[in-house]
């Protein structure tokens, strides 16, 4: 999470959406940076509203707006699957070594989820569970240039992103049956992605 007091903006770090690259590009300009442990770095909208917003309110009268990215749900899961294939997780319950993407998604759809597929939900990350309120500005991960344009205009700075902490770049496939189940069971995540911005309007 990055907070820019002068510009009235909080940038929340949705996992697997380029948050490390954004942090490296913008941390030096932020007034508050939460990094390191994933639970701190990837502060959810709910936790932000519960604790961090109240802390910020000590110093400012006008609360900042929030912004974040969302990834197409199947693509988001693909990134998690490839990330957890890494050698640093070998022999642990979270490793996806030896598993197909179908097996990973089947685990994600299961109740309870096995450790290798317990990666949370973007809908829950970006939505307050009690009020239903959501992040003010949600952009699609695959429309990163639009999100960067929004940030550049809002923060009055030029942003150059490097490719860091990316998942291995190899193709995965998902069976039509599991795709259909995923789209039904996590329809809210797909709907939120569909509603997210894919272009930048300076008047928003």
Q: pLDDT for 65-89, tens place per residue?
A: 999 999 999 999 999 999 999 888 9
Q: Check residue 181 and give its pLDDT.
A: 98
pLDDT at 11 over 90: yes
Percent of residues, the chain, with pLDDT higher than 90? 90
Q: pLDDT for 99-112, tens place per residue?
A: 999 999 999 999 99
Q: What is the pTM of this model?
A: 0.94
Mean pLDDT along residues 139-163:
95
**Is residue 157 within 8 Å of 111, Cβ to Cβ?**
no
Q: pLDDT for 89-99, tens place per residue?
A: 999 999 999 99
DSSP secondary structure string, the chain?
A: -EEETTTTEEE---TTSSHHHHHHHHGGG-SEE--SSHHHHT--HHHIIIIIHHHHTTT-SSPPEEEEEE--HHHHHHHHHHHTTSGGGTTSTT--TT--HHHHHHHHHSSSPPGGG----HHHHHB-TTT--B-SEEEEGGGHHHHHHHHHHHHTS-------SPPP-------HHHHHHHHHHTHHHHHHHHHSBSS--TT-
**Is residue 136 within 8 Å of 68, Cβ to Cβ?**
no
- The CB density around residue 202, as the number of other CB atoms within 10 Å, is 8
Task: Map tokens 């299961």 to a residue.
Answer: 110
Least confident of 28-32, 123-127, 161-165: 161-165
Mean pLDDT along residues 135-150:
98
Q: Check residue 164 and give its pLDDT.
A: 67
- SS3 of 53-75: the string is HHHHCCCCCCCCEEEEEECCHHH
- The Cα 43–Cα 124 span in angstroms is 12
Q: Check residue 166 and give its pLDDT.
A: 66
pLDDT at 204 over 90: no
- The Cα 80–Cα 82 span in angstroms is 5
For the sheet containing 65-70, what is the strand order?
Answer: 32-33, 2-4, 9-11, 65-70, 137-140
Give the chain's mean pLDDT: 95
User: Prior bond to 112 cis, omega within 30?
Assistant: yes
Structure confidence at residue 168 as a pLDDT band (50, 70, 90)? confident
Mean pLDDT along residues 162-189:
89
């Amino acid at each position: 999470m990055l907070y820019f007091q002068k510009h009235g903006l909080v940038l929340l770090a949705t996992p697997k959406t380029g948050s490390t690259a954004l942090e490296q590009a913008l941390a030096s300009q932020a007034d508050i940076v939460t990094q390191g442990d994933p639970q701190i770095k990837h502060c959810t909208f709910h936790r932000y509203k519960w604790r961090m917003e109240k802390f910020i309110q000590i110093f400012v009268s006008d609360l900042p707006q929030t912004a974040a990215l969302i990834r197409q749900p199947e693509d988001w899961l693909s990134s998690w699957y490839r990330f957890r294939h890494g050698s640093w997780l070998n022999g642990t319950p979270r490793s996806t070594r030896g598993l197909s993407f179908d097996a990973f998604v089947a685990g994600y759809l299961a109740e309870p989820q096995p450790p290798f597929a317990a990666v949370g939900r973007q809908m829950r990350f970006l939505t307050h569970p009690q009020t239903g309120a959501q992040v003010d500005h949600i952009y699609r991960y695959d429309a990163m240039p639009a999100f960067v344009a929004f940030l550049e205009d809002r923060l009055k700075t030029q942003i150059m992103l490097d490719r860091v902490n990316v998942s291995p770049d190899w193709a995965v496939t998902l069976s039509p049956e599991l795709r259909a189940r995923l789209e039904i069971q996590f329809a809210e995540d797909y709907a939120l992605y569909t509603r997210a911005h894919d272009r930048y309007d300076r008047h928003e």
